[in-house]
Every structure is written in C-alpha cells, then in structure tokens.
Amino acid sequence: MTAEALPIPPLRRDDRGLPFVGRVLDYAKDPVGLFRHHYERYGPVAPWYALGRTSVMLLGPDACGEALQNRDKAFANGPAWSQLVGPFFRRGLMLLDFDEHKGHRRIMQEAFTRPRLESYTRRLHPAIETGLAGWNADREFPSYWRLKQLTLDIAADLFMGGAQDTSRAEMDRVNKAFIACVQAAAGIVRADVPFTRWGKAYRGRKVLEKFLRHYLPVKRAQQTDDIFSVLCHIETEDGDRFSDDDVVNHMIFLMMAAHDTSTVTTSTILQYLGQHPAWQERCREESLALGPEPTMAELEGLVALDLVMKEALRLRAPVPVLVRYTVRDTVVQGVRIPAGTSAALGLQFTHLMEDYWSNPTAFDPERFTPERREDRSHRFAWEPFGGGVHKCIGLYFAGLEVKAIMHRLLREHRWTVDPAYEPPLDNHSLPFPKDGLPIALA
C-alpha cells in the first residue's frame, strides 16, 4: 500500500437519500444514472449510502478490474453476497472465498468440461422443443414470462434429470421456491418475517433442500448426465469430491445462477432482434443452414447470433453489479479503502461508458467483430461474466443454452417489437421487464 493513498471522498449531504434506505430507490429506478452521477462527482471510488451504511462504488474498468483481480486478497465475496442474497444461497460457489473457494471450484470445474458440455447440449434440444411447442402466434405474447417458464423447465430436466416421481404441481412449488430465494435480494426487511421477501425465501430454501435431499440417494447410486448426478460423482485428480451437503448447496446456487441470467439474456436478444429485423434475418439464415438439433461446435459457429448475444449482454448485463467486502485495508485507483467496507462494482455502468464504446446505448453487434473489437478497448470493458477467480463457471454453458433456444425460435418463428419500445425494467434483483416484454409473434 502506498503512503500517498487518498481517503474515500466524503459523501455530500444531498447524496444521502432517504433515512436508512438511502439511495436504494434511486438505484431501482435508474442504476446507471445513479452510478454516473457518483462517478462524475467523486471519481472511480465513490461513496454511497444504502440500507443504513455507507459503502463504496467502484466505477469504470480500472477500479472494477483491480477488485476482480484482487491481488492482495482484500476483497471477499461471502460476506458481501450474503448481505444481498441472504442465507438462501449459503455455501454456493460464489459465496465461498480464498482457499475454500479454490478447492470447491476445482471440483466443480469437472462438471463443465467440454465433453460434459457436449452432453448437456444434446439434452437441451428435446427440453427446448417441448417447451416451445406451446408458443403460438400472438400479437401480445408476454415473451419474458414464457422464457422464464421455458428456462425453468429446461433446468428441471438438465439439472434434476426430470425429477421423475415429482408431479407438475410439486415442480411448480419448487419453481416458486426458487423465485422466492432469488427475489430476497430486493427485501428491505432482512429477517424471517412472514409475508416479506425474506420470509418467503426462508421457506423457499427449506422446500428446495427437502426436494434435493429426497433425490440425493438415487443420484448417488446412478450415474446419469444431469447436473445433479454429475455433482454427486465428479472428483478431482486428487480424489476430492463433494459431500451431500455440498451437493445440495451447490445445486441450489447453480440453478439460481443459471436460471434468471439466461432468461434475461434471451429476452434481451428477443427484444433487439424484434426491433432490428435485418439482424433477425441474418441470424435466421445461419440457423436455417443447420439442422434443428445442432452440436455444440455448430452452435458455437453461429457467428451473427454470437455477436448479438455479446451486444445484449453489454446493453443489459443480467448481473449489473457485483458486490465485495474488504477483509483488510486496500488501495484501489489510489484511494484507500479500509477493512470492513462493502463495495459495489458497476459492471453495467462500464458497459455504457463513452470512453470505451462508440455510441454506447445503440444496438450495434458489429462492434464485437474482429475488425472493431471494441470490447478490447480495455481488459475489463466487457465484463458480463465477471473476472478473476470468481468469473462465471457457467459462461460456456450459458452461451449454449441461450443459442440453442434462439436457434429453434429463429427457425420456427418471426417476431416484431416496436422500434421505439423501451422495457420498464425492475432493477430490484436482476433487471427484468415488468411488462413481460410483449412481442408480436408469428
């Protein structure tokens, strides 16, 4: 640490917001606007006040990059994320830190090798086909809600292996339990109080645990190609394996991590392709050149769709902010951050900075072509999957799932969205369109 490091700038009175809540409501209304305001006023390490405490925003790719690289091991995930998502995703990979995280990540990596991804891809297609079978032409098709159902159904099959002796009603209960856990992040009352988001999430976690523990013995006994079974059987070269508790904890976290993020991404792609018919056609041509159930390599070869997905992740990062907590004093961008400080890393803000992107709010997938590569303007300019040791372990799987869904949709449907449409986003947890993102589906 250098002696010249400056202290965090003091928070100005007019930036404190409401008592206790602080600027949480401003964040929910316009997160990027709030971050921009703080960046312009205070610089890349900016103070802000929310939920009874002053913490810091790390703004811009340099500040975010320093925290993600975490060279002095000052930034921890567990204490930060558990403040947000509560105890509902306890001991999920993202909430583990340092040596323990490394040990678990080494085991989990075995569930995301290329041969495993190839087998997940084969499993994706029938689940997508079944899910899309009920999509009919409609001028007011609530695409977000339908996609959410689709990704839940895919997860039930791919993660659970279909949960054979579970009825549709029970599966719906499990899905609701997941949603309750995910939505806890937005709770103002942060305790097990009935009818609050946190109260519902406490009950949700119990439902999920019971459900998974019911299936655990079968999954341990048989080796199948769903993720639940895979987590039960994987081991490292040194013979490290997950315990029963680990499997349950990782399953709950993985399903959460995989579900809403993929739904937001697919729905953003649907919106932009509906507003940009030329891009829709370009993607469709590539998909029509393949069969209905492309291999992993074929999905990776969908060049136009890949550009569109990258641009969708830039414009609407499903995880717009990452959180960290300092377990020791550190310095970011020349500013001293004391131990015990919560930090919010503004990934979405970086994605819209004019210093790194031309016309940043415009939909322009070509910015990712080899000739332009605007994402290379800075190593941390494009970070929808985070960076450093916690970088998303499911990023290749996410690409395959989103592309497999889009591939089938492009082959079977055409759709339009008003070019002037801007979705009213709910930013309480992951950004989702409150109106369900209606499209005209043909």
List of residues contacting ligand HEM (CB under 6 A):
77, 93-94, 105, 254, 257-258, 261-262, 265, 318-319, 322, 384-386, 390, 392-394, 397-398
Centroid of chain to Cα 169: 27
Q: Which residue is nearest to ligand HEM (CB)?
A: 394
User: Least separation, in Å, of the C-beta of 167 and ligand HEM?
Assistant: 25
Contacts (Cβ under 8 Å, ≥6 apart) of 167: none
- Indicate the helix (H) or strand (E) that contains 441: strand 438-441
Centroid of chain to Cα 403: 16
When the beta carbons of 205 and 259 are compared against ligand HEM, the nearer one is: 259
User: Least separation, in Å, of the C-beta of 313 and ligand HEM?
Assistant: 6
User: Least separation, in Å, of the C-beta of 312 and ligand HEM?
Assistant: 9
Please spell the DSSP secondary structure of 45-106, one letter per residue. EEEEEETTEEEEEE-SHHHHHHHHH-TTS-EESHHHHHHHHGGGGTT-GGG--HHHHHHHHH
When the beta carbons of 258 and 343 are compared against ligand HEM, the nearer one is: 258
Strand partners, 45: 58
| CA gap 265, 256 in Å, rounded | 14
> Is the Cβ–Cβ distance between 428 and 422 less than 8 Å?
no
With b for 16 or more beta-carbon neighbours within 10 A and e for fewer, the 234-250 pattern comes to: beeeeeeebeeebbbbb
User: Least separation, in Å, of the C-beta of 166 and ligand HEM?
Assistant: 21
User: Least separation, in Å, of the C-beta of 136 and ligand HEM?
Assistant: 27
> Is the Cβ–Cβ distance between 401 and 236 less than 8 Å?
no
> Is the Cβ–Cβ distance between 387 and 71 less than 8 Å?
no
User: Least separation, in Å, of the C-beta of 259 and ligand HEM?
Assistant: 8
Please spell the DSSP secondary structure of 312-330, one letter per residue. HHHHT-SS-EEEEEESS-E
User: Least separation, in Å, of the C-beta of 264 and ligand HEM?
Assistant: 7
Residue 392 annotated as binding?
Answer: yes
User: Least separation, in Å, of the C-beta of 125 and ligand HEM?
Assistant: 17
User: Least separation, in Å, of the C-beta of 407 and ligand HEM?
Assistant: 16
When the beta carbons of 93 and 404 are compared against ligand HEM, the nearer one is: 93
Half-sphere exposure of 205 (CA within 13 A, CB side): 21
- Indicate the helix (H) or strand (E) that contains 426: strand 425-426
| CA gap 385, 369 in Å, rounded | 19
Give CA separation, 177 vs 6, 165, 181, 236, 436, in Å: 46, 18, 6, 32, 20
Strand partners, 336: 7, 331
When the beta carbons of 11 and 208 are compared against ligand HEM, the nearer one is: 208
Q: Is the dihedral of CA 46, 34, 387, 88 positive or negative?
A: positive
Q: Give the chain's largest Cα–Cα span.
A: 65
When the beta carbons of 103 and 142 are compared against ligand HEM, the nearer one is: 103
When the beta carbons of 93 and 302 are compared against ligand HEM, the nearer one is: 93
- DSSP β-ladder status, 425-426 and 432-433: antiparallel
| CA gap 280, 308 in Å, rounded | 9
When the beta carbons of 19 and 115 are compared against ligand HEM, the nearer one is: 115
When the beta carbons of 11 and 266 are compared against ligand HEM, the nearer one is: 266
When the beta carbons of 42 and 382 are compared against ligand HEM, the nearer one is: 382
Query: Which residues contribute to the annotated binding site for heme?
Result: 392
